[in-house]
């Protein structure tokens, strides 16, 4: 990112569907959006599945590579979301509206937008099937389907969101409920959860906790608030340098952390949250709450599960360095839907996009890919309304920082990048296919040293 927005805050690769609001009637036929006068085709040189961060970014890059008429994006949702903003929306620091734009406005001009859902993947025949059994064939396939939120795997949800004391920053339709619950808090337990599944942006569940604690202090409610973080993990953060910094903040702010606790039920009528103790099979604990922030279980998109492209866990099976599929050489993946062993963030997608661009270019030329993805990812850990820790790291969970100073310290500059610079860089840099991560700037600032 320019010297001012070097890392991308957490996000995912595609929009999320409504969770509470009823969906409109389903389309009887797929809808096609493209350049004026263009007609939908049943074959594309490059077919992109998913119109989230990874999908739009790669469609922009592929347009420059093979020409817009030869690229299509399959995406059912009408809107594209900049989800990293929701951390601040849930804390009342930003409005929700700027996080959403029409999908049509972010698909590169001339690239065909096929507004439909993928129903079946058939890599042996180089095709996919959409709604109404519509078949689209391809020469190269880029899978950027994101991941799926599973609120329904927690008993009592999503209907529990009708309660004014429950919210979640993980959905466009529940993030403002977090802010309402925060404003309505009087006294008691404010509980924040982390599920027993992979998640997008592993830092987000605790970012809202720090912001809520700061809000309670600003409004004089902190003496009557018990801040509790119940996480299914055994550590506060997966990179020791940043975990140590966060634990100091937790201690100084008198926050309670319970490890290996997974939310399994919400009893909204009684303001009770039930957690499973992962260290003791079958043992549960009931917590009373005045405010509850839920991070839902997450998993691979249903169409990937049990498909020929998935690994045993249902994630897209790609080479962790080239992002090429491990079995099908003309299939590639990016973002949250992949089994890449790194944190699922928009920062990761930025770095992946540059590598994948090079990988596909090599394959198209009949060469062996040489550019390698090192697992770079980033998470601006917001700790206050004007402070953040800028975590950057690689596959080995080792810091891979852009700036030549200690990014584990809370800084106003890190917060400013997260809140005010990254959104514009997202819409006009990453989605346009011009930003492939901060590696060149890191190299410059560190005088060529990693």
CB distance 181 to 162 below 8 Å: no
CA-wise closest residue to 135 among 145, 121, 149: 121
Residue with tokens 């085709």: 41
Which DSSP letter does residue 37 get? T
For residue 337, give both structure tokens.
């839907």
Active site residue 379: yes
Query: For residue 37, how far is the Cα from the chain centroid?
Result: 35
Q: 10 catalytic, yes or no?
A: no
Q: Please state, in angstroms and as integers, the Cα–Cα distance from residue 91 to each residue in 87, 216, 234, following that order.
A: 7, 11, 26
Dihedral over Cα of 178, 393, 61, 49: its sign: negative
Nearest to 193 by CA among 298, 304, 344: 298
C-alpha 400 chain-centroid distance: 20
Q: What is the DSSP letter of 392?
A: E
Which among 10, 12, 337, 379 is annotated as catalytic?
A: 379
Q: Is the peptide bond before 213 cis (omega within 30 degrees of 0)?
A: no
- For the record, the structure tokens of 60 come out as 């922009």
Helix (H, G, I), strand (E, B) or coil at 73: strand
State the DSSP code for 202: T
Question: Can you tell me the distance from the alpha carbon of 10 to that of 349, in angstroms, rounded to the nearest whole number?
Answer: 10
Radius of gyration of the CA atoms of the chain, in A? 22
Helix (H, G, I), strand (E, B) or coil at 64: helix
For residue 32, what are its two tokens?
Answer: 């096609």
DSSP-based three-state secondary structure for 438: coil
State the Cα angle at 338 between 335 and 344, rounded to 5°: 50
**How far, in whole angstroms, is CA 300 from its chain's centroid?**
13
Do 92 and 69 contact (CB within 8 A), yes or no? no
**How far apart are alpha carbons 134 and 143 in whole angstroms?**
18
Residues 110 and 249: their CA atoms lie apart, in Å, by: 49
- CA 305 – CA 154 distance, rounded (Å): 20
Give dist(CA 378, CA 360) in Å, integer: 24
Annotated active-site positions, please? 201, 379
């Amino acid at each position: 990112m320019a010297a001012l927005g070097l890392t991308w805050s957490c996000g995912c690769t595609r929009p999320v569907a409504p969770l509470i609001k009823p969906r409109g009637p389903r389309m009887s036929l797929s809808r096609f959006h493209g350049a004026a006068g263009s007609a939908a085709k049943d074959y594309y040189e490059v077919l992109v599945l998913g119109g989230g961060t990874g999908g739009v970014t790669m469609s922009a890059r592929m347009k420059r590579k093979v020409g817009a008429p030869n690229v299509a994006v399959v995406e059912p949702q009408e809107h594209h979301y900049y989800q990293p903003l929701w951390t601040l929306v849930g804390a009342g620091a930003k409005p929700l509206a700027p996080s959403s734009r029409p999908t049509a406005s972010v698909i590169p001009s001339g690239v065909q937008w096929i507004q439909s859902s993928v129903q079946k993947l058939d890599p042996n025949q180089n095709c996919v099937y959409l709604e109404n059994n519509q078949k689209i064939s391809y020469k190269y396939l880029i899978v950027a389907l994101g991941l799926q939120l599973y609120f329904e795997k927690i008993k009592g949800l999503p209907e529990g969101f009708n309660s004014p004391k429950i919210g979640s920053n993980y959905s466009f339709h529940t993030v403002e409920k977090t802010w309402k619950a925060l404003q309505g808090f009087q006294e008691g337990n404010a509980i924040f959860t982390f599920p027993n599944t992979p998640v997008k942006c592993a830092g987000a569940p605790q970012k809202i906790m720090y912001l809520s604690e700061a809000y309670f202090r600003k409004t004089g409610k902190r003496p009557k608030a018990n801040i509790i973080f119940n996480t299914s993990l055994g550590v506060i953060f997966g990179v020791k340098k940043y975990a140590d910094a966060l634990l100091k903040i937790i201690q100084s702010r008198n926050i309670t952390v319970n490890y290996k606790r997974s939310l399994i039920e919400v009893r909204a009528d009684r303001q009770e949250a039930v957690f499973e103790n992962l260290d003791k099979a079958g043992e549960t604990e009931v917590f009373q709450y005045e405010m509850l922030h839920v991070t839902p279980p997450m998993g691979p998109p249903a169409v990937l599960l049990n498909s020929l492209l998935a690994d045993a866990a249902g994630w897209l099976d790609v080479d962790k360095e080239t992002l090429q599929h491990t079995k099908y050489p003309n299939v590639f993946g990016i973002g949250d839907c992949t089994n890449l062993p790194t944190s699922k963030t928009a920062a990761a997608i930025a770095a992946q996009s540059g590598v994948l661009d090079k990988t596909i270019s090599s394959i198209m030329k009949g060469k062996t890919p040489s550019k390698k993805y090192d697992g770079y990812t980033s998470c601006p850990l917001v700790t206050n309304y004007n402070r953040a820790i800028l975590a950057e790291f690689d596959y080995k969970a080792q810091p891979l920082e852009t700036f030549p100073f200690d990014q584990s310290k809370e800084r106003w500059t890190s917060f400013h990048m997260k809140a005010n610079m990254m959104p514009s860089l997202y819409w006009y840099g990453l989605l346009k296919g011009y930003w492939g991560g901060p590696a060149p700037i890191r190299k410059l600032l560190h005088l060529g040293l990693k």
